[in-house]
Structure 1
Amino acid sequence: MTARITADWLHEPALQAVFDALETDGDTARVVGGAVRNTLLGLPATDIDISTTAEPSAVMEKAAAHGLKAVPTGFDHGTVTLVTRGTPYEVTSLREDVETHGRSATVRFGRSWQHDAERRDFTMNALYCDRHGIVYDPVGGLPDLQARHVRFIGDPRLRIAEDYLRILRFFRFHAQYGAGDLDAAGIAAVTELRDGLAGLSAERIGMEMRKLVSAPRAAETIQAMRDAGIVSRVLATHGGLRPFQDLRALDPLAPEACSPALALAVLSDGGEADLDDMADHLRLSNAERKRMKAARSASDIPRGWGEARPAPVSDTEIRRLLFLAGREAAIDGLLHAWANAGTGPEDPVFLPALERLREAEIPVFPLTGKDLLAAGVPAGPHVGEALARAQAAWIDSDFSLDRDALLAVATGA
């Protein structure tokens, strides 16, 4: 099977300038991995990584000779980042493993494209193309890519022993690119070697899980992970799988359903303490932790959403939710409640409520602390207490009280 790439990114002057620099003195260079894979699948190519027969020191010299900026981002492992016309390209020398350690490997540089391909993870990630777009397939990746079949290169157990993160990558790539059933040999290997996940850092696990839960086939893939005994090893929960599946069914209606923070919040199937446990376990950022909690909190704001048959949401409740939570958290909260209700994408309560949350204006509270100070409220906690009284009255009035009426409530006049 042969293939050729004609995508615009391949002919960009910046990339061709990198080829001009690298392909001197008998060396060759090829784009490898994700850019080739995605382009052949008709998906956007993001990071464009390059492999070359030149060793790192030679890459640095070639870059200098051609006026390119060279940054030794991973020099000892063979990686130099070349920057041309403001665009960075990660360039890695061909490698082969000398010894593996479960999370890393001792490598040596070489000139064999076959050896370089054989040390990669999956066949669909070991596709190369030259500057003219001709695709090279040393390990049979093209048929797998055409079938959307995620398959380890060679013996899956050996590939996993080289880096146990490949267990999660196996599931993540299936969720993102796969079709049909998971590779049988791959499933057998990840199940057998799953205890190796214990040696991985929380940061590496968290990076993979963020990508996995927002992938197109995440719901069925998480189920396969649970069946293989993987979920309990990487998440601080047994997982709210049914609500998670219902959340991902909302993808066509709401891109927010793909948010890793919201997906993990639904998958946690617990309260605030459970969300904290998951955020700690995956080393999530403060912003992600905040969004998870905001979604969980906002899901409880409208009255009736927690019932088996939610009642229609009034305009007052929509305004109240937007004011108390903000638009992002309000939509996240609705999706969280919708997923847990399990009523499906055509639900007559949640669907119109989602549309109204997108369109409605967020009420703006017309009173500030400065207004209260000017009205004679003593500085300090009295201002906050007075504002809280006024805000509660404003919400109860369906946001109709004007500034003067709120001042009267706040000051007790």
Structure 2
Amino acid sequence: MNRLQDAPWLFAPGIQRVFEAVEQDGDRARAVGGAVRNAILGQPVSDIDIATTAVPKAVVDRVQAAGLKAVATGIDHGTVTVISEGVPYELTTLRQDIETFGRQARVHFGTDWRLDAQRRDFTLNALYADRNGRLFDPLGGLADCRAGIVRFIGDPDQRIREDYLRILRFFRMHAAYGTGPLDPEGLDACARQRDGLRHLSAERIGAEMKKLVSAREAPYCIQEMEDRGLLEITTGGISRTADFAALRSLDEYAEEASHPPLCFTVLAGFVSEDLHRVADRFRLSNLDRKRVASALKATSFLEPSLQPRHLREALVDVGRQAAIDGLLMIWARTRANAGAKFDEHSFAAALDSLRSLDVPVFPVAGNDLLGAGLTPGPDLGRTLEHLRSRWRASDFRLSKTELLELL
């Protein structure tokens, strides 16, 4: 195949307007990278990057003359974002890295497509497609893409030293697109350069790891990271790779099993202190921090048993999402360690119950006690908690009238 067969995004009016505007005076433009790769593999395409021989100023002038919006998002490095019919396209002038400084580089703009390809990270990302869908494959990336091989371009050690995040990207890309074992040369280079991970920011590590843990081949890649001494540096502590693999094996039962916050919790969250470390290490949002803390709390209700009473207690105390997360945590840990004695049915039934049960709501409020003659103050709160305890002891069955009669 030397042409994209099914790429409706490439023939959409918006991107065709961009091509038409930029391709003047002998300049050419081609879609490049992830969009082309995913189209070849039949996977969804989101962000669309375009490489062009036109210099940044010419790109801006031409697209504005065509009535399109241009945003100079990285113009010093040759990148202009063009908005066409509401869709952003990132256009970057062909370039060659003259010197690299970690993530930064001194670049030289040019017109050589092969030199542009050689500065990219992996061969399957160095694929180009013109406006008619014709593929340009200067480095053999098409064969690697089809075979599920994630291979560094050129010397793997050099590619990694240019940006140590490429270590995590190597595993993440294989987890999403790879087939079979990891490329041995790339794997050895990642192991040799692993100390470079210590220089990466938590934001960059977190962004990459969120994509990695939720990808198809994540359990295999995470285990390889552990075996090569990469995972402890990445997570900042000890990990439970078997539990993580067991969690991801639950995808058939619950789509939550691939959610990054839960994956991090099962992988590295032994106790609440670990969760704080993981949340900081991967820069989890406040919402995700609350989710993992609630999931850990839910396990205290569900570990004694999976009886309906304990399920309802978890629903009342932490809510439906956290109760489901907590159940999946216990399920993964049990599956990883119980072997042949593992009872799959009871966990599946408990999950169905947590999805379908109504969440019991405590029927008494402070105003109800005031209406019953109690006065404001500490005793009011203590009475309310006493009634709540009686309600829980009744398996949440006592009604408002029955609870007030206890006064």
- Tell me the TM-score normalised to structure 2 length: 0.94
Per mean C-alpha deviation after superposition, the further-off stretch among 280-289 and 132-141 is 280-289
Deviation, structure 1 residue 376: 4.6
Give the number of equivalent residue pairs. Answer: 403
Judge conservation of contact 1:103–1:200 (CA < 8 Å) in 2. Answer: no
Relative distance call for 1:235 and 1:303 in structure 2 (3 A) is: closer
* Structure 1 residue 45, shift from structure 2 partner: 0.8
1:404 Cα shift?
A: 2.1
Shift of 1:192: 0.9
> Is 1:279 paired with 2:279?
yes
Q: Which residue of 2 aligns with 1:308?
A: none
- The one-letter amino acid paired with 1:144 is D
Q: Does the 8 Å CA contact 1:71/1:81 hold for their aligned counterparts?
A: yes
1:397 corresponds to 2:394: yes
1:55-76 alpha-carbon deviations (Å, 9 max, x no partner): 2211111121011111111222
Cα gap change, 1:134 to 1:374, in 2 (>3 Å)? farther
Distance in 1 of aligned mates of 2:71 and 2:374: 59
Aligned to 2:255: 255
Deviation string, structure 1 residues 213-262 (Cα, Å, up to 9, x no partner): 11111111111001111011111222011111111110111110001000
8 Å Cα contact 1:5-1:129 kept in structure 2: no
2:328 corresponds in structure 1 to: 335
Alignment check: 8 A CA contact 1:6 1:133 kept: no
Residue 383 (structure 2) pairs with residue 368 (structure 1): no
Give 3-state SS (helix, strand or coil) of 2:302's partner. coil
Shift of 1:83: 1.1
Query: Compared with structure 1, are the counterparts of its residues 388 and 110 closer, same or farther at alpha carbon in structure 2 (3 Å cutoff)?
Result: farther
Deviation at 1:362?
1.5
User: Is the CA contact 1:77–1:107 (under 8 Å) kept in the aligned structure 2?
Assistant: yes
Question: CA 1:367–1:170 in structure 2 vs 1: closer, same or farther (change >3 Å)?
Answer: same
Q: 1:315: which partner in 2?
A: 308
Partners of 1:32 and 1:51 within 8 A in 2 = yes
DSSP 3-state at the match of 2:265: helix
Contact 2:301–2:311, Cα closer than 8 Å, also in 1: no
Deviation per residue, 1:70-126 (Å, 9 max, x gap): 111122222111112221111111111010112321212211111111100000111
CA–CA separation in structure 1 for the residues paired with 2:69 and 2:236: 44
Residue 325 of structure 1 aligns to which amino acid in structure 2?
V
Name the residue aligned to 1:166: 166
**Identical aligned residues as a percent:** 51
Structure 2 unaligned spans of 5+: none
Q: Give 1:314 deviation, angstroms.
A: 2.5
* Counterpart residue identity of residue 250, structure 1: L
Partner Cα distance (1:60, 1:31) in 2:
18
Residue type of the partner of 2:28? T
CA RMSD of aligned residues (A): 1.8
Q: For the structure 1 residues 71 and 383, does the alpha-carbon distance in structure 2 shift closer, same or farther, using more than 3 Å as the test? A: farther
Structure 1 distance, partners of 2:126, 2:383, is 65
CA distance in structure 2 between the aligned counterparts of 1:103 and 1:291, rounded to whole angstroms: 33
Q: Quick one: distance in 2 between partners of 1:39 and 1:160?
A: 27
Q: Which amino acid aligns with 1:185?
A: E
Q: SS of 1:357's equivalent?
A: helix
1:5 CA displacement = 3.6
CA distance in 1, matches of 2:171, 2:327: 28
The one-character-per-residue Cα deviations of 1:332-386 (angstroms, maximum 9, x if unpaired) are 0000011111258971211111111112222222223343444454446555444
Query: 2:144 matched to which residue of 1?
Result: 144
C-alpha distance 234-381 of structure 1, shift in aligned 2 (>3 A): farther
Aligned to 2:223: 223
**How much does 1:28 deviate?**
1.3
Report the secondary structure of 2:89's partner residue: strand
What is the deviation of 1:3? 3.6
TM-score normalised by length of structure 1: 0.93
Aligned: 1:359 with 2:356: yes
Aligned partners of 1:323 and 1:363 also within 8 Å: yes
User: Retained in 2: the 8 A contact 1:114–1:138?
Assistant: yes
